[in-house]
Structure 1
């Protein structure tokens, strides 16, 4: 797991590197440094692939038209436009004792898993409020499904932004290219694994 982190000592100027204490480092043997730094990208890519495969047919099964589904999936580009720079700026100025990046990565992962669980159990959650089969239950199911997609996309973009920044923080310039290559490898592996996970979901 990653260790260290940057803890600001002057809140008035938290992004001034001269005021940070500590140094970035990765615990464990050197051959595991790059996989450790990029493993978060593998996880979020798997979830994103599953969402992209499963969510469209699921939303259509709930009664949404294809044009409405397309509007829902604006969550992806909107989250990339808004969430990544916002979370990146917040992480840059963080003075957490756990490091600048780690709290955002862990928090984003927890939110992402919660969103995926909500997407998978929207009907059951809606049944806590309204009796199944009724119009109100159907409407709430759709609303929860749409909310879960936005939650997933926003949290995925948050984790991706901070994980990529972690590479820049931690690796020396000579290893930046290798770090980016490892990140691309994790994203590719995540897409492949996500495909095989989503196939049984779509056809069940």
Structure 2
């Protein structure tokens, strides 16, 4: 084998490795956006078994889920009840839009991978747009739930506080068990 052919083989191997790394990074990015921005997730749907706020869950959605879980204990007044129902519907619409956006990013990636020379930058651009749109939608839903929370009485806020404290402590206990250390109680 000549020196030139050895260099060509080395160059081809490096190029193939770089291409494979780029495809892997893009695929992992799209897969991560699936779980973080509206994809179906594992058992139990988008949030898995533990719901929002579990280890790995989205804190942005934690307030809405907590309020939905606590609805019977909150004793909402009629205005709060009406706003609550609106926010539940808004959250459902946002989740559906997020899933549709995510599917658009996956379709863009599949279309590029079907080409002989995929334009990974184009697929990444679509994934970035989807991520930004879904993040903005999540923040809007969160902020709307926080506005409802601001109308709560001190007794209603205490119910939410206790629930969230239990969730945070449970998640911390889980993280500590995964690290092999005993959990330290939080106050």
Q: Name the TM-score, length of structure 1 as normaliser.
A: 0.35
Considering fraction of residues, name the structure with more strand. Answer: 1
Structure with greater helix share of residues: 2
TM-score (norm 2): 0.37
Bigger RCO (CA 8 Å, 6+ sep): 1
